[in-house]
């Protein structure tokens, strides 16, 4: 492998980062060399987002990226999408909503296919995240496919896990108690302008016994995103001091 590509990736060149990720995802010959670099002295913070289809995860990430860019943060967004039944590639779904960031120097976005993996993650995500820890980002945001009891893998890889829900999630709270609800650090009730949002939020807070772990947002309107960002910062700071 050409060492200059890795050096360029470590300096933040997006094309080189993209090429390295492709080599890792496809398990190309020599890809292990890309994983040997030591993490940066201050490695990026890894944030995992998961939740049921239609919860607005992509819209939420899009709105949150805007807040982080305004803070001059460098962000890599890894979107794990369902696989195409024809070619096993990623079905981009709502990713078009984040198109505005493709020319933003502070933002790198990459869609990956889950390739049928349990846990809502592409099998190579762990290695890709290991590689990205040596690149000059402040945040790595990983958006996963779906939600369910088997899909807690993101919590093992992320510094902080966010579960995105909608007011209609109702009975899912009981379903998730055996799985993700116990490992998520923060719960976002998105589309909170819908009927029943207040009741659902109250039930969720009562179930968690911690109202500070719940944030209401309307991602498409940018409502609650600053609060989300502040809550993430608070949780991360608390984790550092434990």
What confidence tens digit (pLDDT) does each residue in 156-200 have? 889 999 999 899 876 555 555 556 677 789 999 999 999 999 998
CB 170 within 8 A of CB 104: no
Global pTM value:
0.88
Note the residue count of the chain. Answer: 242
pLDDT band per the 50, 70, 90 thresholds, residue 84: very low
pLDDT score, position 7: 92
Cβ contacts of residue 2 below 8 Å, gap of 6+? Answer: none
Domain interval for residue 235? 3-240
Residue 150: CATH number of its domain: 3.40.50.300
- With a cut of 80, say whether residue 99 has pLDDT above it: no
pLDDT (average), residues 234-240? 91
Spell 6-39 as b/e; 16+ CB within 10 A means b: bebbbeebbebbebbbebbbeeeeebeebeebee
Sign of CA dihedral 153, 241, 66, 126: negative
Please state, in angstroms and as integers, the Cα–Cα distance from residue 57 to each residue in 19, 155, 190, 194, 212, following that order.
26, 16, 9, 16, 20
pLDDT score, position 88: 42
pLDDT band per the 50, 70, 90 thresholds, residue 122: low
Q: How many structural domains compose the chain?
A: 1
Mean pLDDT of the chain: 84
- State the residue for tokens 């945001």: 141
- With a cut of 50, say whether residue 29 has pLDDT above it: yes
Closest CA to 135 of 25, 22, 236, 16: 16
Neighbours of 140 (CB within 10 A): 24
């Amino acid at each position: 492998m050409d060492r200059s590509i890795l050096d360029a990736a470590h300096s933040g060149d997006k094309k080189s980062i993209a090429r390295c990720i492709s080599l890792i995802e496809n398990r190309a010959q020599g890809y292990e060399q890309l994983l040997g670099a030591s993490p940066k002295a201050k490695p990026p913070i890894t944030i995992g987002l998961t939740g049921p289809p239609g919860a607005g995860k992509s819209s939420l990430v899009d709105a949150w990226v805007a807040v982080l860019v305004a803070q001059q943060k460098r962000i890599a967004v890894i979107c794990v999408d369902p696989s195409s039944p024809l070619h096993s590639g990623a079905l981009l779904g709502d990713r078009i909503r984040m198109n505005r960031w493709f020319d933003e120097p502070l933002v790198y976005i990459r869609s990956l296919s889950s390739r049928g993996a349990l846990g809502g993650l592409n099998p190579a995500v762990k290695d890709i995240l290991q590689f990205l820890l040596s690149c000059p980002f402040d945040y790595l945001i990983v958006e996963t496919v779906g939600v369910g009891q088997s899909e807690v893998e993101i919590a093992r890889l992320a510094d902080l896990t966010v579960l995105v829900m909608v007011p209609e999630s109702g009975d899912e709270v009981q379903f998730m108690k055996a799985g993700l609800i116990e490992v998520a650090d923060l719960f976002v009730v998105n589309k909170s302008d819908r009927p029943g949002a207040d009741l659902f939020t109250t039930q969720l807070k009562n179930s968690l016994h911690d109202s500070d772990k719940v944030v209401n947002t309307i991602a498409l309107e940018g409502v609650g995103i600053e609060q989300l960002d502040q809550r993430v910062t608070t949780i991360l700071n608390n984790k550092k001091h434990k």
